[in-house]
Chain A
């Protein structure tokens, strides 16, 4: 069953076209990540779902009913803000049950549901604290608690983890994901961190400049990026791109270099491409169906379990990733083996995958 349908949605701020013909369908129970660089419109889209921003044209349906023109409180959605937006004058308990108090629910129900939510989130002993007496992680939990006591149709998250330190962020990722599964909720999660999007979501929507560039399952986007932007945005370290041109005899040749890439594709001569290679599909050792190029090691970064080697290939920087400890040193001349089965081609003019 579809829980959220976004249909040809447009949003203008004066002369600025913030959302351009956005179409997204979200199934009940799924976890959707909206990801993209700052200013791409992901937060605007989320706020449009919440009813905090007006739409210019198009339709938004939640549980089959159009919510265009409806105020936030009639949409049955809960939102976790980046700043948490806790009520500074209310203690944790009152922050969490504000919505129920507004609806004048019976006292027993209010305290029962508040207690359950607080225990779920490990806030049981903090109920009488004011937000200013809480740590960042605790505030984040209160913000989530405020959302879950309402038992809404849809949870909206606006970069909820960006104010936490790295360790807590990783921990909260799985907490949010677990919570999502336990509540069988539909969640829309905005983040600029593609790792967060990849690890948490069932469905990732990549946006840029108000346009949905591609959407699909995380691995689908990783394996089959629709254009150069998505290819470069998804994955860390990012995909390497080398410029190449198709010669008259149909071979793909790297610019600034005469290396020929043996591709079995029928492409017109003169076409210009970006060759996309993920760092883990490059190797210093021969592999199946590969080709080799001369390269120079210009830098090495090791995380202990992984090593990233920065190489110069055809006067372009290229990053290679391999597991384990470094096997080369800076300045070494090496043979770079490229797995031809995992090459991506992007048209240099349209940037679309070829």
Chain B
């Protein structure tokens, strides 16, 4: 007993202890749920078999069932649009703001800090506020659009199947901008000023400096922000729950919300698992890109 205590205190035992705790955590809270989820996606799981582990094995039947759902195509394209548009606008607006706050003007750092306010708010709260903004009858967005003459008539943002998805995307873009901006600001700040000055002396104008110095030197940060953005966007659940619940008629439904609906609303748990497994595969690909992009970080 004394020997064990001594190794833990002084020797390699302490390393093993730390490693063991981390591994235990990962196994219990990450590896096990993922593996269990994959197993469930290959079984028939319903309310009656939920508590037993010995359930009928059905192979890829659940995956087949998902793809034969009539809404599968809609939800797939909704998810693609949701992720793609969110990322494009979060990134470009976030990058633009990061570049803007990189300029030396009074209060730049305070204003940049204020942008974080949006990020630290729970997405459910953000969703509730956007729901008011988007409201068809009394929403301030409609008021602004009609009084400025941009729209002739009120837009029913959350109940019109043609625009509901875009309303959710707009709210999600707003939510994601601060994260993009802060991460990209850090990257921009790490580029030494004299590299830009050297480029200026070499004859590069502002656009050329952005294209040939900023962009390539920000490659690692951009890769990281895009990958994390994809992962966060695929996790975005609260906002959808608060705004449209995937409706009307699945017109704003996306994969992650669909998976939840299967598992916890209609209790087709095996279908929900199958959807989430497909998403895991996609996220693993994105994570691999993320890990690769961090290898391109430059030292100055």
Which residues of A come within 8 Å of B, CB atoms?
50-52, 71-73, 77-79, 81, 83, 85-89, 98-99, 102-103, 132, 146, 150
B203 touches A88 (CB 8 A): no
**Interface centre among B203, B204, B208, B217, by most A CB within 10 Å?**
B203
10 further A-B contacts with Cβ under 8 Å, apart from A85-B195, A132-B298, are A73-B203, A78-B201, A83-B192, A85-B198, A87-B199, A89-B216, A98-B204, A103-B203, A132-B299, A146-B202
CA–CA, A83 and B198, complex, Å: 11
A-B residue pair count with CB separations less than 8 angstroms:
63
Q: Is B194 an interface residue (CB 8 A)?
A: yes
A50 touches B201 (CB 8 A): yes
B204 touches A102 (CB 8 A): yes
Known: A102-B208, A132-B298, A132-B299. A88 touches B195 (CB 8 A): yes
Q: Is B163 an interface residue (CB 8 A)?
A: no
- Look across to chain A and name the residue whose beta carbon is closest to the beta carbon of B219: A89
Tell me the smallest distance from the CB of A51 to a CB of chain B, in Å.
8
Q: Is B200 an interface residue (CB 8 A)?
A: yes
**Interface centre among B201, B212, B217, B300, by most A CB within 10 Å?**
B201
Find A87's partner among B198, B203, B208 (CB 8 Å cutoff). B198
- Look across to chain B and name the residue whose beta carbon is closest to the beta carbon of A143: B198
Q: Is B197 an interface residue (CB 8 A)?
A: yes
A sample of 14 cross-chain residue pairs with beta-carbon separation below 8 angstroms, ordered by A number, consists of A50-B201, A52-B201, A83-B194, A86-B195, A87-B198, A87-B199, A87-B213, A88-B298, A89-B217, A89-B298, A98-B199, A98-B204, A102-B208, A103-B203
A73 touches B194 (CB 8 A): no
List of B residues within 8 angstroms of A72 by Cβ: 197, 200-201
Tell me the smallest distance from the CB of A267 to a CB of chain B, in Å.
51
A102 touches B202 (CB 8 A): yes
CA–CA, A112 and B197, complex, Å: 26
A87 touches B195 (CB 8 A): yes
A52 touches B200 (CB 8 A): yes
List of B residues within 8 angstroms of A83 by Cβ: 192, 194
Find A99's partner among B203, B213, B298 (CB 8 Å cutoff). B203
A146 touches B217 (CB 8 A): no
CA–CA, A51 and B195, complex, Å: 15
CA–CA, A71 and B196, complex, Å: 13
B 77-113 contacts with A by CB, 8 A: none
Number of interface residues of B (CB under 8 A): 21
List of B residues within 8 angstroms of A79 by Cβ: 197-198, 201
Find A150's partner among B197, B202, B219, B299 (CB 8 Å cutoff). B202
Known: A87-B213, A88-B299, A88-B300. A81 touches B200 (CB 8 A): no
Tell me the smallest distance from the CB of B251 to a CB of chain A, in Å.
44
A73 touches B204 (CB 8 A): yes
B194 touches A81 (CB 8 A): yes
Known: A83-B194, A87-B195. A73 touches B300 (CB 8 A): no
List of B residues within 8 angstroms of A99 by Cβ: 202-203
CA–CA, A109 and B243, complex, Å: 61
- Look across to chain A and name the residue whose beta carbon is closest to the beta carbon of B202: A99
B202 touches A85 (CB 8 A): no
- Look across to chain A and name the residue whose beta carbon is closest to the beta carbon of B206: A71
**Interface centre among B202, B203, B205, by most A CB within 10 Å?**
B202
- Look across to chain B and name the residue whose beta carbon is closest to the beta carbon of A75: B201
CA–CA, A52 and B208, complex, Å: 17
Tell me the smallest distance from the CB of B49 to a CB of chain A, in Å.
56
Tell me the smallest distance from the CB of B256 to a CB of chain A, in Å.
36
**Interface centre among A51, A77, A83, by most B CB within 10 Å?**
A83
Tell me the smallest distance from the CB of B196 to a CB of chain A, in Å.
9
CA–CA, A83 and B217, complex, Å: 17
B299 touches A73 (CB 8 A): no
- Look across to chain A and name the residue whose beta carbon is closest to the beta carbon of B201: A72
A52 touches B203 (CB 8 A): no
List of B residues within 8 angstroms of A81 by Cβ: 194, 197-198
Shortest beta-carbon contacts, A-B, top 4: A99-B202, A85-B194, A85-B198, A73-B203
Known: A85-B194, A88-B298. A73 touches B200 (CB 8 A): yes
Tell me the smallest distance from the CB of A91 to a CB of chain B, in Å.
12
CA–CA, A72 and B205, complex, Å: 10
CA–CA, A77 and B202, complex, Å: 9
Tell me the smallest distance from the CB of B109 to a CB of chain A, in Å.
18
List of A residues within 8 angstroms of B208 by Cβ: 102
- Look across to chain B and name the residue whose beta carbon is closest to the beta carbon of A77: B201
